[in-house]
A = this chain, B = another copy of it.
Amino acid sequence: MASDVTAPRGMRDFLPADKARRERVLGVIRESYRRHGFDEIETPVMEDSARLHAGLGGDNEKLAFGVLKRGLTVEDLRAAREPLDLVDLGLRFDLTVPLARFYATHRAELPSVFRAIQIAPVWRAERPQRGRFRQFVQCDIDIIGEPGPLAEVELIAATADALDALGLAGCAIRINDRRILAALVRSWGIADADYESTLVTVDKLDKVGVDGVVAELSAKGLGDAERVGGTLRAIAELPDDGWALASDPPAWLDVAVYRELLAIREALPGIRLVFSPDLVRGMGYYTGTIFEIAHPDVPYSLGGGGRYDGMIGRFLGTDVPAVGFSLGFERILELVEAAAGERADAVALVYDDGAAPARLVALKRQLVQTGARVRLVRRARRVAAQLDQLAAEGFTRFAFVPDGASTAAELEFRELAPPA
């Protein structure tokens, strides 16, 4: 019977050691972002369904979990023409749509340039499959109200610092701009009407390679195969991380926008930026810079973001410039060393059956008042294994509670060696 009882498919429980590790890593990220002048906010996990389905979430929008209206009747079922008719709320699929809604709601109470931290779960009704979770945590920072590149520079600096603080050496930030992509697509002789469709294909470059992209575009009847292949191959081989193009720019490059990216790079000495003119990022709402974190050990990105100047206007009625950077927390967690928690004073009081609760709790409370973490543990038959387990859980010392002891001074403490 017990084997049936599990968390819902695609969702996870976190046991004490997992939970502590997750919170430690989130704490490092949060503190890094706070230092860079960002402020944490929180929104409800649900948004009104009409807002979630406003066409801003791209493919993720289709993965929003719908929440049934309150007090539905069988008659409502009969009258419904499609499942969404029964739904008035949905679980957020990202933190960007809720942030845009939040900003539209609270603009008057927020500083003119608002730097937001959001560290929170999101939900996607993915088909269950290995390594895809239906509930996972995102860590987003966004700057709203700053039209210039200062926002990009601050976001990237804060993100790079967070990655450093996590000990993730060797990360690079790939950067591009949607306006560079638009010029690139035009240089292939593709009409603006086919721009979105072209991006969908180019976005598969990491998976299918240059030949795959050329073949798919040809199959769609888009662009000259030779020109597309030549450009993409040249891009893959750009020297100096792509930053040597200004003096002799290739035909496909929007040089004015490239110079803006160069200025961002120059404002961030010590952080490795890679110009990636073939970087797409899936979301339709990006309007300018886009970026992504690459790590040498893994083939997928550890996070990304970009400028989405038109999105808040969809809720507010007035366009407000905005740019954000999201960390893929679950992927980052896998790469971060399983740093041991700080070994604060943690005491196990091992007692025998029959010890009076009043005496045990009196001892415990005395020790808690000294600032220690204290756990009462009934003595197991295999005490050595029990003590090893306590050490593994981070306990630093223990005492057997002797008969009749009623003050902590009567206890003899012994150290627990940290696990090898």
A residues within 8 Å of B by Cβ? 1-2, 5-8, 11-16, 19-20, 22-23, 34-37, 39-48, 65-68, 70, 72-74, 76-77, 80-83, 86-87, 89, 91, 101-102, 104-107, 109-113, 115, 121, 123, 125, 127, 135, 148-150, 153-154, 157, 161, 263-264, 266-269, 315-317, 356-358, 360-362, 364-365, 368, 371-378, 380, 389, 393
A374→B37 contact, CB < 8 A: yes
Q: Which residue of B lies closest to A79 (CB)?
A: B77
Shortest C-beta distance, A50 to chain B (Å), equals: 11
| Total copies of the chain | 2
Known contacts: A5-B104, A374-B36. The answer to whether A357 contacts B153 by CB under 8 A is: yes
B44→A372 contact, CB < 8 A: no
User: Which residues does chain B contribute within 8 Å of A34, judged by CB atoms?
Assistant: 373
User: Which residues does chain B contribute within 8 Å of A371, judged by CB atoms?
Assistant: 35
Excluding A263-B357, A267-B358, 18 further A-B contacts by CB distance (< 8 Å) are: A2-B316, A2-B317, A7-B105, A13-B43, A20-B40, A36-B374, A45-B45, A68-B68, A70-B127, A73-B83, A76-B83, A77-B83, A77-B86, A111-B377, A150-B360, A150-B361, A150-B376, A157-B365
User: Which residues does chain B contribute within 8 Å of A41, judged by CB atoms?
Assistant: 13-16, 19
A309 to B194: give the CA distance in the assembly, Å.
Answer: 64
B36→A364 contact, CB < 8 A: yes
Shortest C-beta distance, A362 to chain B (Å), equals: 8
A389 to B111: give the CA distance in the assembly, Å.
Answer: 9
Most chain B beta-carbon neighbours within 10 Å: one of A43, A115, A316? A43
User: Which residues does chain B contribute within 8 Å of A82, judged by CB atoms?
Assistant: 74, 77
A83→B86 contact, CB < 8 A: yes
B20→A106 contact, CB < 8 A: no
Shortest C-beta distance, A356 to chain B (Å), equals: 8
A14 to B35: give the CA distance in the assembly, Å.
Answer: 20
